[in-house]
Amino acid sequence: MSSQIVSLDSLTVSPSPRRGGCASSSCGASSRPADIDPATWERIKDHPCYSEEAHHYFARMHVAVAPACNIQCNYCNRKYDCSNESRPGVVSERLTPEEAVRKVVAVAAAVPELSVLGIAGPGDALHDWKNTRATFDAVRKVVPDIKFCLSTNGLALPDHVDEIAEMAIDHVTITINAVDPEIGARIYPWIFFDHKRRTGIEAATILLERQMRGLEMLTARGILVKINSVMIPGINDDHLPEVNRAVRARGAFLHNVMPLISDPAHGTHFGLTGQRGPTPTELKALQDRLDGGAKLMRHCRQCRADAIGLLGEDRGQEFNLDRLPETVTYDPAPRQAYRAFVAAERGDRGAARDDALRRIGAVADDVRLLVAVATKGGARVNEHFGHAREFQIYEAGSKGITLVGHRKVDAYCMGGFGEDATLGPTISALDGIDTVLCAKVGDCPRDALQAAGITVTDAHAYDYIETAVGKVYAERFGRAAAVA
């Protein structure tokens, strides 16, 4: 594997990259969000899921060492990955703890952006605690500078909190879809608890009680807890504000509301019985309703239990066991160099963001604009329209410039040619978007989007995202003098 540093220059592919931007210590601008205290920021600033800002720079990897599960969710088919932290439909490579360590070292050598090792199934990380613990213990000895993160349905959580704290696992996700057992019983047909299979309201009552107890125990020990909730229209969508209040009251750090993925082809109960998932507009409306409660995560990509890379990309196939060298040696230098590079880049971007917010502030009225951005990392507009497999969605308005979600699409450009058949679905996926920002776009897709009322432009190629969004907003609504 190459141990070459993946610099932000290579991410931006800028014709005139801004090299040597002012270091964060010297420019006065901070990348720390105003609502996060400095001590907490130190704990999350390299975690791509716990910090939206970090997800532009840092990567996570999952190792699929925990195949078994102690509950059944109606959105899960055991043939596939855990839907709580993964996209169903693709089977993971199952690993032993020894194989997992080999893989982590190989990825750490090749992906300097790597900062977090997560165990998210494909079953439940705590039900398979022996494997989970053995993996973390072994990785710690070889790669000491990686954060540990785990995800669980919460049933076994109260039994493991003390060990989790002793092992300095600082980030734990619990999937909580309901706090009312009547609603829970419509989501969980059974659990296996205390040597017995339990069903209906009894099962949901036990599960929900243990999830809440586990959450309280974790936050009492200062561990950062994220709550994932699957939004299931007609079942728990109206109930999720209550979940948000309950987890906030118990000290949850983040609440991540994810859309149900329901496809009959996945063979899940919900998929086979016609339960639909929410539209992007319904999801955003619910998230907007939750604003002001527990802090929301809006950049989740529902990644696989063996995902590797920046959120939104999955390099897992590059690191299948049969492609790894027999012996791999850990070298921390490229990852340390990358972190230093990011620190400088963040200072530069913080100044650019402050400037963009001033542009937005120059607009008197509270008008909102939804902008879709093609990016491949580094917080810049740096992906061609035709290569984009997702667009990050930013909302600009009186609250500033905020990432509010993403929309997945099929790449338009295949092997150098535009694939017109993908344009219709892409335009549908961009419903409600005013402007698309990208590094390059051809006339054909530009005209097709224009006909659908969506402006697409490469005029802000390689700018920081906030800079570009701020300019578009000011051009649309502000005074001409506000636009540099």
**Interface positions with ligand SF4 (CB under 6 A):** 69, 71-73, 76, 82-84, 121, 123-124, 153
- If phi > 0 it is left, if psi is from -120 to 50 it is alpha, else beta; for residue 74 that is alpha
- Residue 231's DSSP bridge partners are 259
Phi, psi of 440 (to 5 degrees): -165, 145
Q: Find, among 408, 411, 454, the residue nearest to 432 by Cα.
A: 454
SS3 141: helix
Tell me the residue number closest to ligand CLF, measured at CB.
Answer: 118
Cβ at position 85, least distance to ligand SF4 in Å = 8
User: Residue 135 phi/psi, 5° resolution?
Assistant: -65, -50
Contacts with 141 (C-beta within 8 Å, 6 or more apart), sequence order: none
Q: What angle do CA 15, 16, 18 make, to 5 degrees?
A: 135
What residue 123 binds from ligand CLF, ligand SF4, none (CB within 5 to 8 A, per partner kind)? ligand SF4
51 binding partner (options ligand CLF, ligand SF4, none; Cβ < 5 to 8 Å by kind) = none
> Rounded to an integer, what is the distance from CA 243 to the centroid of its chain?
20
Report how far residue 53's alpha carbon sits from residue 355's, in angstroms, rounded to the nearest whole number: 17
Beta bridge partners of 370: 395
Least distance CB 120 / ligand SF4 (angstroms): 9
Contact partner at residue 287 from ligand SF4, ligand CLF, none, CB < 5 to 8 Å by partner kind? none
Shortest reach from residue 316's CB to ligand CLF, in Å: 12
Closest CA to 310 of 265, 405, 376: 376
How far apart are CB 324 and ligand CLF at their closest, in Å? Answer: 21
Give least dist CB 255 to ligand SF4, A.
18
- Tell the smallest beta-carbon distance from residue 100 to ligand CLF (Å): 14
Both tokens of 371, joined, read 């902008």
Short-list 397, 399, 350, 407, CA closest to 374: 407
CB of 408 to ligand CLF, least distance (A): 13
With CB under 5 to 8 Å by kind, the binding choice for 71 among ligand CLF, ligand SF4, none is ligand SF4
Q: Which does 260 bind (CB under 5 to 8 A by kind): ligand SF4, ligand CLF, none?
A: none
**Tokens of residue 332, six digits:** 């921390």
On the CB side of 376, CA atoms within 13 Å amount to: 21
Helix-strand-coil split of the chain, %, nearest 5: 40, 20, 45
Give the DSSP per-residue string, 167-229: TT--EEEEE---SSHHHHTTT-SEEEETTEEEEHHHHHHHHHHHHHHHHHHHHHTT-EEEEEE
Measured from the CB of residue 123, what is the shortest distance to ligand SF4 in angstroms?
5
With respect to ligand CLF, which residue has the nearer C-beta, 151 or 244? 151
Q: Where are the alpha helices (DSSP H) in 19-96?
A: 24-27, 38-44
- Least separation in angstroms between residue 32's CB and ligand SF4 is 33
> Least distance to ligand SF4 from the beta carbon of 207, Å?
10
76 binds, among ligand CLF, ligand SF4, none (CB under 5 to 8 A by kind): ligand SF4
Q: Which is nearer to ligand SF4, 116 or 174 (CB)?
A: 174
Residue closer to ligand SF4 (CB basis): 78 or 213: 78
Q: How far is the CB of 305 from ligand CLF (least distance, A)?
A: 9
Nearer to ligand SF4, 125 or 482 (CB): 125
Question: Of the two residues 301 and 384, which places its CB atom closer to ligand CLF in the complex?
Answer: 301
116: partner contacted, choices ligand SF4, ligand CLF, none (Cβ within 5-8 A by kind): ligand CLF
396 binds, among ligand SF4, ligand CLF, none (CB under 5 to 8 A by kind): none
Q: Which does 229 bind (CB under 5 to 8 A by kind): ligand CLF, ligand SF4, none?
A: none
Which of residues 104 and 352 has its CB atom nearest to ligand CLF in the complex?
104
By beta-carbon proximity to ligand SF4, the closer residue of 71 and 247 is 71
Residue (190 or 330) nearer to ligand SF4, CB? 190
Of 49 and 76, nearer to ligand SF4 (C-beta) is 76
Q: Provide the CA 397 distance to its chain's centre, in angstroms.
A: 23
- In the complex with ligand CLF, which residue's Cβ is closer, 150 or 454? 150
Applying CB under 6 A, which residues contact ligand CLF? 49, 60, 62, 85, 116, 118, 120, 149, 151, 171, 173, 226, 256, 300-303, 311
CB 71, min distance to ligand SF4, A: 5
The number of residues making up the chain comes to 484
**Cβ nearer to ligand CLF, comparing 160 with 198:** 160
Binding at 121: pick from ligand SF4, ligand CLF, none (beta carbon under 5-8 Å per type): ligand SF4
How far, in Å, are 52, 98, 215, 409 from residue 248 at the CA level?
Answer: 19, 38, 10, 34
Give 306 or 383: the residue with its C-beta nearer to ligand CLF.
306
Query: Is the alpha carbon torsion for 426, 429, 432, 436 positive or negative?
Result: negative
Rg (CA), the chain: 22
- Give the nearest residue (CB) to ligand SF4: 76
